[in-house]
Amino acid sequence: MAIHPIEFRYGTPEMKNIWESENKLQKMLDVESALAQAEAFYEIIPQKDADEISSKANTKYVTLERVNEIEREKNHDIASLAEGLREQCRGKSGEYVHFGATSNDIVDSSQSLLFKESIEVLKDKVETLTGIFLKLSRDNIDNVCIGRTHGQHAIPTTYGMKFGLWADEMHRQWIRLDNSKENLCLGMMDGAVGTTAALGEIGWDVHKKVSDILGLKPAKITNQVLQRDNHNEFIFALANIATTLDKIALEIRNLQRTEINEVGEFFDPEKQVGSSTMPHKMNPITAERICGVSRVVRSYVVGIMENNPLWHERDLTNSSSERIIFPESCILTDYILNLTIKLFNNLIFHYENIEKNLNLTNGLVMAERLMAELTRSGMGKHIAYGIVRKSAIRANKENLALADIILEDNEVVKYLSIGDVEKIMNPHTYIGSSEKIVNELLEESKNWFKK
């Protein structure tokens, strides 16, 4: 019976397949195989025995069911893995299984393989989402809308700026994710306290050879574990991505509010239901789910930081929480990336509301421009600010057009004509360098994901 929502509600097949139990088992068997081959290379064990171990280091022979059965007796997962592999090997080859290794050599090296696969899936989706934002930025470069600060109308901006900002941030997240591989995806085969003592003087060479076979960078120094500051860096990167997606989805939720309704999620009126009791509802459920799940991903930051301080060369307090944190953080981050891609691939624009909101305040949002133009025309900046502020307060209080109020001021008409004020009050022409900013970003983005 399914209990956890990841089992039946959240997650994508590609990421779940990485972290499902059989693939995790296979990655541990891959490490055992690499250990045997490295030891054969340095003539610690016979090559024929290493080849036999490698040929049986497969879930076709070492089944999850059998390993779990052994573990119920031994109460030790890696000892059970080693026993499951040993009993499949012909002759005396099984006696060399796991020689010179400690459990965490297998655990940490195999997890590095899982992280490596996970990062590639995540990077692809971050790149896809970034590309969607870049296209939306290009398509909306002159789609002027009202900008908001403190939840209040500020001055005009463009949807091209909004999407460009998100594209730039997602590219930074891609860089952080890619950089996390450097310290995270490491190989180790160093024994009980990191000295490789069981393998003698050749042990450090075996450590490096195992990593090379697995396609991992060898750790520079360990005790019994890869140090958890490396894993912290990765989970921080996922939490950071989740926070960005939360911010973006929150903006869409706000822009879809009935009172604003500038953009929104696609809603299928033929099939989709917004409420079990209110027939009219069309809710931003995808964006809300992104925001909700992002909270779970961020919550892992505290737990992962507490896994770094371990007793002496190590204890086991990190292990149990990591069994939850690693797969869930990867699966849930991947899931909300997928949701965000879906959301923006089907985003709906309500252009009439964008224009309506732009002009909602009877020109109050052009107060800054009025002040600036009065200053350019010769009026002192502080004097101009005071006059425009006084006029804006009156216009707001009496629900009048700012242009009409400002032209009643005798000082203003010394510097600006009626025609000047009409031009100044056009919000579509007060977007500063936004087009240049977006175009430069689009040009720069051509080199973002070049390998």
CB 214 within 8 A of CB 258: no
Query: Is 445 a catalytic site residue?
Result: no
Query: Is 275 a catalytic site residue?
Result: yes
Given the residues 150, 276, 280, 312, select the one marked as catalytic: 150
Q: How far is CA 307 from the centre of its chain?
A: 21
- What token pair was written down for 319? 């292990």
**Whose CA is closest to 337, among 114, 115, 132?**
132
- Phi and psi torsions of 144, nearest 5°: -75, 135
CA–CA separation, 364 and 416 (whole Å): 17
CA–CA separation, 351 and 144 (whole Å): 10
Beta bridge partners of 149: 152
CA–CA separation, 57 and 71 (whole Å): 18
Identity of the residue numbered 115: F
CA–CA separation, 247 and 6 (whole Å): 23
**Whose CA is closest to 161, among 443, 435, 451?**
435
Given the residues 21, 275, 377, 417, select the one marked as catalytic: 275
Identity of the residue numbered 143: N
DSSP-H helix ranges across 346-412: 351-358, 367-376, 381-398, 402-406
Beta bridge partners of 217: 186
CA distances from 253 to 136, 154, 265 (A): 18, 19, 9
Q: How far is CA 419 from the centre of its chain?
A: 50
* Crossing angle for the helix pair 285-305 and 317-345, to the nearest 10 degrees: 160
Identity of the residue numbered 299: S
Beta bridge partners of 156: 146
Residues 6+ apart with CB under 8 A from 300: 235, 238, 239, 325, 328, 329
| 123-151 core/surface letters (b: 16 or more CB in 10 A; e: else) | bebbbebbbbbbebbbebbebbbbbbeee
CA–CA separation, 272 and 394 (whole Å): 46
CA–CA separation, 377 and 362 (whole Å): 24
Q: Active-site residue numbers?
A: 150, 275
